[in-house]
Amino acid sequence: MRLYLIRHGRTRWNKEEVFRGTADVPLDEMGRREAEKVAEALCGRGIEVVYSSPLSRAKETAEAIAARCGAPLHIMEELRDLDFGEWQGLSRLEVQERYPDLYFLWEREPHRVVFPGGEDLDAVRKRATGALERIKEAHPHQGVALVSHRVVLKVLTCFLLGLDNSHFWHILQDTAAISCFRFDGTKWIVQYLNDTCHLRSLSPEEKADF
């Protein structure tokens, strides 16, 4: 099995550095261009099925990939973004001002943070890895594209690399970036991480990794 992990394209809240979480924020114009670029990049790589978070920014990106690859698209609720609770809809600066101690902890020990009114990384890991296990069982010899969100993909990448959630900030996950893993029957093997070569024709200052 070959697994492609793809982050959705950019949204206005990515550009403005606003915490998105479970808010259904659509792609902006740059995000739609990124979605088309990632779909072009994945065409011809043997993708036979696409899975996506139900949130529109991921679903729009997944629809572009599924259409270009001629693959069916399945929505999985477990692939939704982290619930940031009270942080959702706030800018990075607002969070720093309102929750200085918790934000300090988030930047240094993310695995210890439980977001007020929301989730923690362990909850995301449990549901996302459960979804991945079902996908693996359903497609043991196929190419699979999984489209989700920065937090979900960083946690999944830690899992696939055999790392715990304390390594969350060691993983970079840009918008519309691709990571690839192969399952050899006993273990996951990393092929590449956070590939954004397909986005080179887009203006760098317009892209966002928040």
The residues annotated as belonging to the active site are 8, 149
The C-alpha atoms of residue 111 and residue 114 are separated, in whole angstroms, by 8
Q: How far apart are CA 129 and CA 78, in angstroms?
A: 9
Other CB atoms within 10 A of residue 39 CB: 24
| Residue 11 β-bridge partners | 27
H helices of the chain, in order, are 12-15, 29-42, 56-69, 92-98, 100-108, 121-138, 150-160
- 6 half-sphere exposure, CB direction, 13 A CA radius: 35
